Structure 1
Amino acid sequence: MTWLFPVDRERAEIAPGAVHVPGWLPVERQRELVGACRGWARGPVPMRRTELPGGGVMSVRTVCLGWHWQPYRYSRTADDVNGAPVGAFPGWLADLGRAALVEAYGEDGGYAPDAALVNFYEPDARMGMHQDREERSGAPVVSLSIGDSCVFRFGNTRSRGRPYTDVELASGDLFVFGGPSRFAYHGVPKVYPGTADPATGLGSGRLNITLRETGLTAS
């Protein structure tokens, strides 16, 4: 395989408030998260491909915790899947999110994530450029990668086009974006099959766990 990125990867601020920390998750923790994701994928709301308002279907498969996301809102029940209440957001995952902010910014700023989107990318899956803007809170988004490496395209807050920066996200990498970069467009144009560490227990594909603070209250 010909790599587009340097082998020696270092921590970097990609844009103001957007921090990439390679290899943050040790392989043992990655393996634990893979096991947890397999449990979440079985329900109460199963992992699914999200249907978009225009009739298209996303190529990634997603399961949510805490709040269920569907284009373009959050709810406590998965009305677009089976109507079941969304799975609970575990406290240990919130602790992991706060540790991620300490790693990225030096402090957690009172971070209180209450929703997670777990996306599974098969080798041909992609994610178009988009903003995470359904949240009422402007708190940072924490992104954890496990499995196959990918190209993560991190753009600007004005449009889906240039300028943007392509970053390699490999298994165990942390990416946090907040502050001036909180509403930057971002996406995944390519996954590199067969690049995962077998020790994670995932096999093929890529898992991406994103933690968000919604600012919503239960109704």
Structure 2
Amino acid sequence: MRTAYHEQLDALTNRLAEMCGLAGVAMERATQALLQADLPLAEQVITDHDQIATLSARAEEDAFVLLALQAPVAGDLRAVVSSIQIVADVDRMGALALHVAKIARRRHPQPALPEEVNGYFAEMGRVAVDLGHSAQEVLLTKDPEKAARIREDDDAMDDLHRHLFTVLMDRDWKHGVAAAVDVTLLGRFYERFADHAVEVARRVIFQVTGHNPDEEQLPAAR
């Protein structure tokens, strides 16, 4: 029975890692669509989101089946409960990439971004993709040290987000309210994507060690 249980738990972990990988790919493509006003690529992200949603529903169902039928305790219980929470975090990462793609689609054929902020979003996209891949790796390796290092990329995202606001608040901003709203929303989407990747790392640390990381070490997703 225990062998079958751990095989099911491993399958659940692999599904969560697959979702992380898909979320990273979605954000990479959504960023390209945003920067290049690429409508077909934006549409692809929107269509492909169904795959993440399907995996999310299946993973959540599998986790609740493990919880109900196996009655896990101690470390096994931590693993299942954390997996249920991770499903929500990774599902949200996919949804945030979807939001980016939808803004790119809504503004097409015009670019959604003023040229002067393209560099910020190119870098925010790169950091977000790296975080998605890092979260995937942490899920598969269950390495708490790698999980803790995810904070470094999140700090980089926070710095980019803060600098982006200095551009928006500049008195020389000449792109109007609609563009300012889009830039504000998009910046927030990337920041939250990073926060949820960090939250995945936090939950992996809890799975492995039984302790929540110091609040100063890993910020909670919002």
TM-score surpassing 0.5? no
Where is the strand percentage greater, Structure 1 or Structure 2? Answer: 1
- Normalized per residue, the structure richer in helix is 2
Q: Place the TM-score, normalised by the shorter chain, in its bin.
A: under 0.3
Specify the structure having the higher radius of gyration (Cα).
2
